[in-house]
């Protein structure tokens, strides 16, 4: 078990021993706040400049999404390594190494168009990004909450994370609009230079552990296998609709290899003495339900990345910068969601059932508004409440589920392994699966609507001398058929999120929650029902 650095003794207050003595204590934590924002604004490829990148390269949207998920895979896979690295190297080595790695990766992505190279580069950039973020946030954790209260820390952490997600997209679109998409990478190199300068000039080497922990004994081979599996699964999900899913021979082969690789990983993790991720975390109470709820929530919120992109770009035709300005309206919702989390978990200390119901209720309200307001003639202002609601939903669900995971896993080392599994579902697997599911649903509904409407068109209904087929296909097909298909998909989201909202509001009632826990497992329930039906069946046969 990895030790946890103790809080400072009473009367000494918050200290950051990594800073040089002449640096004012009041600005020390704020320097790390600026540093963590610089790190969080980085990425391998920036989807905010999607149109500009596609206009100057031969990349499809699926290629760029694959690079995005490669970066997220790098972030997720590195979680079990974070504390080992913190207790092995100094803060200066970790932050300088992260900054140099991110800068080099951004220089490569500016000039390289090879997908295999970019996949590796984005994966490494994701690892460096989470390393820099953890190093900064772990050093100012006691400044944020002196008692190390995660009911405070996790909501504040999501202020940083979600602000950077929305802000980096807008900044990338702004650079692409006024300059070129490469300027965002130049800006990132500049911010990484700022981190190097502050670390070399204002800080000194410091490690919280006097005796450095060695890196021996880490099951790196399992980590590499898990990374490969994550990339293979994301490839299947992202390119599934484009390659017609199982009609593609390559996807069928890749699916078979993925299943065999998953079996190999599970066998190795269950037999290695010191596995990269201990399967013990699944035995802790509530861990599996938390992962299931996380996957469902992320799948429902996946319509943000898919359906909204189709609507704003393909149907409404918003320019990239205007679209990213529209997405910034998620930030007020994020901050409201964080305030709700703080009041609920820290001040009132209520149970999380109703809070999760509120989070899924925000998704329901978001989907209902989008369903009702999908009109090309409507001003863009009418969609802003929906964007704020999905921002609030994301903040509420992400912080609450992460806090619940911490409450379920008391061991620190096991908790970081749990965070690894949690983030596989939270920011990686469910997001990629959501893109594949929503694009498939949209394609199915769009093709079905076109075929249904096309069957009603006959030459007897058209005056061909006055009928412009090109204008008809350019307006009706684009504006009406796609709007109808999007509404149908949003309708599914309304039903699913509404059911989840009702479920958690019901579980908030103590009598319902107590009786639900007494229900037997489904196999047991099925055996009991069959045993009761068997005498009735025998009696019925005797009557015949």
The predicted structure's pLDDT at residue 10: 45
Q: Which of 96-105, 239-248, 282-291, 476-485 has the lowest mean pLDDT?
A: 476-485
Residue 11 pLDDT > 50, yes or no?
no
- Over residues 123-133, mean pLDDT: 92
Percent of all residues in the chain with a pLDDT value above 90, rounded to a whole number: 31
pLDDT in tens, 426-475: 777 777 777 888 888 888 888 777 777 665 555 555 555 554 555 555 55
- Over residues 322-326, mean pLDDT: 89
Q: Which of 57-61, 86-90, 388-392, 478-482 has the lowest mean pLDDT?
A: 478-482
| Size (the chain), residues | 544
Three-state secondary structure call for residue 212: coil
- Over residues 487-509, mean pLDDT: 90
Asked if 393 and 504 touch (Cβ cutoff 8 Å), the reply is no
Helix and strand numbers (H, E) in the chain are 23, 0
The predicted structure's pLDDT at residue 1: 42
Pick from 351, 288, 300: nearest CA to 499:
300
The predicted structure's pLDDT at residue 495: 93
Residue 317 pLDDT > 90, yes or no?
no
Residue 290 pLDDT > 60, yes or no?
yes
- Over residues 183-200, mean pLDDT: 93
For helices 220-239 and 249-271, the axis angle rounded to 10 degrees is: 150
Res. 261 pLDDT band, cuts 50 70 90: very high
Q: Which of 151-165, 177-191, 423-437 has the lowest mean pLDDT?
A: 423-437
Backbone angles phi, psi at 455, to 5 degrees: -70, -20
Residue 522 pLDDT > 70, yes or no?
no
The answer for residues whose C-beta is within 8 angstroms of residue 239's C-beta and 6 or more apart is 62, 66, 251
Residue 240 pLDDT > 50, yes or no?
yes
The predicted structure's pLDDT at residue 479: 65
The predicted structure's pLDDT at residue 454: 60
Percent of all residues in the chain with a pLDDT value above 70, rounded to a whole number: 87
The predicted structure's pLDDT at residue 183: 92
pLDDT in tens, 361-402: 999 999 999 998 888 788 888 989 999 999 999 999 999 999
Tokens of 239: 């390119």
Residue 206 pLDDT > 60, yes or no?
yes
Res. 234 pLDDT band, cuts 50 70 90: confident
The predicted structure's pLDDT at residue 301: 87
Q: Is the dihedral of CA 235, 302, 49, 158 positive or negative?
A: negative
The predicted structure's pLDDT at residue 500: 92
Please report, for residues 62, 327, 430, 487, the alpha-carbon distance to residue 237 in angstroms, rounded to integers and kept in the order given: 10, 24, 10, 23
Residue 518 pLDDT > 80, yes or no?
no
Q: Residue by residue, what is the 3-state secondary structure of 356-410?
A: HHHHHHHHHHHHHHHHHHCCCCCCHHHHHHHHHHHHHHHHHHHHHHHHHHHHHCC
- Residue showing tokens 């080392």: 413
Average per-residue pLDDT for the chain: 83
DSSP state of 19: B
The predicted structure's pLDDT at residue 31: 93
């Amino acid at each position: 078990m990895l030790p946890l650095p103790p809080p400072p003794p009473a009367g000494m207050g918050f200290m950051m021993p990594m800073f040089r003595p002449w640096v004012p204590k009041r600005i020390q934590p704020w320097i790390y706040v600026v540093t963590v924002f610089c790190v969080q604004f980085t990425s391998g490829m920036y989807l905010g400049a999607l149109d500009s990148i596609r206009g100057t390269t031969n990349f499809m949207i699926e290629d760029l999404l694959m690079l995005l998920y490669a970066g997220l895979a790098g972030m997720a896979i590195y979680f079990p390594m974070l504390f080992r690295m913190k207790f092995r190297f100094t803060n200066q080595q970790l932050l300088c190494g992260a900054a140099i790695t991110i800068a080099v990766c951004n220089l490569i992505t500016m000039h390289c168009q090879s997908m295999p190279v970019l996949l590796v580069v984005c994966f490494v950039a994701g690892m460096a990004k989470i390393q820099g973020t953890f190093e900064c946030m772990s050093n100012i954790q006691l400044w944020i909450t002196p008692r190390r209260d995660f009911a405070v820390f996790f909501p504040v952490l999501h202020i940083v994370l979600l602000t950077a997600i929305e802000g980096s997209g807008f900044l990338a679109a702004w650079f692409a609009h006024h300059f070129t998409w490469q300027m965002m990478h130049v800006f990132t190199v500049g911010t990484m230079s700022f981190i190097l300068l502050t670390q070399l000039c204002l800080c000194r080497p410091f490690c919280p552990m006097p005796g450095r922990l060695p890196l021996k004994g880490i099951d790196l081979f399992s980590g590499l296998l898990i990374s490969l599996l994550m990339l293979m699964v994301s490839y299947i999900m992202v390119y599934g609709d484009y390659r017609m899913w199982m009609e593609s021979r390559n996807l069928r082969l890749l699916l078979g290899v993925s299943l065999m690789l998953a079996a190999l990983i599970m066998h190795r993790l269950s037999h290695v003495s010191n596995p990269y991720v201990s399967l013990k975390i699944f035995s802790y109470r509530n861990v599996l339900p938390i992962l299931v709820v996380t996957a469902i929530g992320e799948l429902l919120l996946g319509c943000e990345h898919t359906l909204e992109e189709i609507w704003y770009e393909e149907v409404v035709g918003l320019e990239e910068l205007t679209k990213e300005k529209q997405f910034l309206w998620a930030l007020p919702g994020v901050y409201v969601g964080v305030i709700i989390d703080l009041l609920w978990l820290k001040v009132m200390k209520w149970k999380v059932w109703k809070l999760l119901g509120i989070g899924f209720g925000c998704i329901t309200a978001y989907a209902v508004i989008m369903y009702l307001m999908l009109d090309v003639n409507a001003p863009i202002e009418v969609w802003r409440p929906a964007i704020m609601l999905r921002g609030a939903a994301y903040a509420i669900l992400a912080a609450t589920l992460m806090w619940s995971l911490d409450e379920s896993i008391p061991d620190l080392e096991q908790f970081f392994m749990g965070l690894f599994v949690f983030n596989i579902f939270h920011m990686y697997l469910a997001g990629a699966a959501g893109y594949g599911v929503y694009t498939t649903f949209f394609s199915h509904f769009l093709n079905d609507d076109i075929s249904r409407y096309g069957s009603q068109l006959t030459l007897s209904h058209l005056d061909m001398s006055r009928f412009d087929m090109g204008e008809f296909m350019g307006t009706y097909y684009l504006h009406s058929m796609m709007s109808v298909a999007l509404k149908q998909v949003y309708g599914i989201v309304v039903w699913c999120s509404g059911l989840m909202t009702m479920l958690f509001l019901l579980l908030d009632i103590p009598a319902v929650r107590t009786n639900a826990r007494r229900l037997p497992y489904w196999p047991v329930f099925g055996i009991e029902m069959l045993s009761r039906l068997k005498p009735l069946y025998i009696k019925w046969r005797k009557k015949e």
